[in-house]
């Protein structure tokens, strides 16, 4: 079993949360203890088939980190050490690529990632694959979906989910009209049809992004980040969730409010010296479901956060 060293839990125990109580922001747990190279933004983690973990995050040419135990992390180079010139028409020439989603299927790693500039929806999501996950081993599989200034949504923040029927889906979206879902071809990892489904939106406040769909029990849980990222310690990012019996929705929160109508149940928000936790990802491990995210320290540095996920008697997640 892989142990996760946890920071202090303030006031509210997992048992209390499991009874259905909602923790006040001041009572959220601290991130689990992590060491080494933990400066990250928009992290996603996959458990490697041979053991250990591979993390991808926003950075020049997509940054990689590895860990043997989910606690100590080290730099593992970048996905594209020779650059990614096919993305520069979306990035304005910048090498920084955003919000990678990493998973392992059919004997290889799949990496969906974003190319854009801040505040723009002239954006694109691309796919790369690798049999090892090592720096420089990745094959560019090309464009999956793009948007432009006349689009009503934004092609960034991708996340692949495979449903119980073996169908592949990609959720994505940031601001504008919210979170979208498209069908993918499992044979290629690319788009299967032209349908774009809306699965979450905040009318009156467009600040929703970073979707992550994860199946637990009888539900697909749609995790998302609300409010303002990327402002250092002034960030107001917070992690929200809704759920549905179907991968295509409708997703609703604990109170039954549809996520397409602004619904979402808060799971983690800023507290103490943890500012703006968000851009979350979820993965299953030998000791349960794990939440990874970034947050900002008091000095504005973006750091890796890891917590375990529990589920209360009604099936709603909480972190501990």
Which residues form the catalytic set? 42, 209
Residue 31, judged by CB atoms within 10 A of its CB (0-12, 13-18, 19+), counts as buried
For residue 306, what are the contacts with CB-CB under 8 A and spacing of at least 6? 4, 31, 32, 34, 70, 290, 291, 292
Q: SS in 3 state form for 153-218?
A: CCCCCCEEEECCCCCEEEEECECCCCEEEEEECCCCCCECCCCCEEEECCCCCCCEEEEEEEEECC
Asked if 313 contacts 9 with a C-beta cutoff of 8 angstroms, the reply is: no
Can you tell me the distance from the alpha carbon of 39 to that of 302, in angstroms, rounded to the nearest whole number?
A: 6
């Amino acid at each position: 079993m892989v142990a996760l060293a946890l920071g202090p839990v303030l006031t509210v125990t997992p048992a209390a949360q499991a009874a259905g109580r909602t923790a006040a922001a001041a009572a959220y747990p601290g991130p689990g203890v992590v060491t080494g190279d933990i400066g990250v933004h928009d992290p996603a983690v996959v458990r490697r088939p041979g053991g250990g973990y591979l993390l991808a995050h926003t950075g020049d040419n997509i940054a990689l980190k590895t860990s043997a135990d989910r606690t100590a992390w080290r730099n593992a180079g970048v996905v594209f050490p020779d650059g990614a010139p096919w993305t520069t028409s979306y990035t304005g020439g910048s090498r920084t690529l955003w919000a990678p989603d990493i998973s392992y299927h059919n004997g290889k790693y799949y990496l969906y990632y974003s190319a854009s500039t801040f505040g723009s929806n002239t954006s694109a999501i691309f796919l790369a694959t690798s049999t090892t996950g090592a720096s420089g081993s990745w094959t560019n599989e090309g464009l999956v979906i793009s948007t432009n200034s006349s689009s009503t949504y934004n092609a960034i923040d991708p996340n692949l989910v495979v449903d119980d029927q073996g169908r592949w889906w990609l959720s994505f979206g940031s601001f504008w009209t919210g979170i979208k879902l498209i069908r993918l071809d499992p044979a290629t990892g690319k788009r299967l049809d032209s349908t774009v489904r809306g699965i979450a939106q905040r009318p009156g406040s467009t600040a929703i992004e970073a979707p992550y769909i994860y199946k637990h029990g009888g539900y697909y849980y749609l995790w998302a980040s609300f409010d303002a990222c990327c402002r250092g310690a002034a960030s107001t990012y917070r992690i929200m969730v809704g759920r549905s019996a179907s991968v295509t929705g409708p997703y609703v929160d604990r109170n039954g409010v549809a996520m397409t109508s602004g619904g979402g149940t808060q799971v983690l928000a800023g507290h103490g010296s943890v500012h703006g936790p968000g851009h979350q990802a979820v993965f299953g491990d030998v000791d349960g479901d794990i939440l990874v995210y970034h947050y900002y320290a008091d000095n504005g540095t973006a750091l890796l956060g890891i917590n375990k996920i529990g589920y209360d008697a009604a099936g709603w997640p909480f972190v501990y």
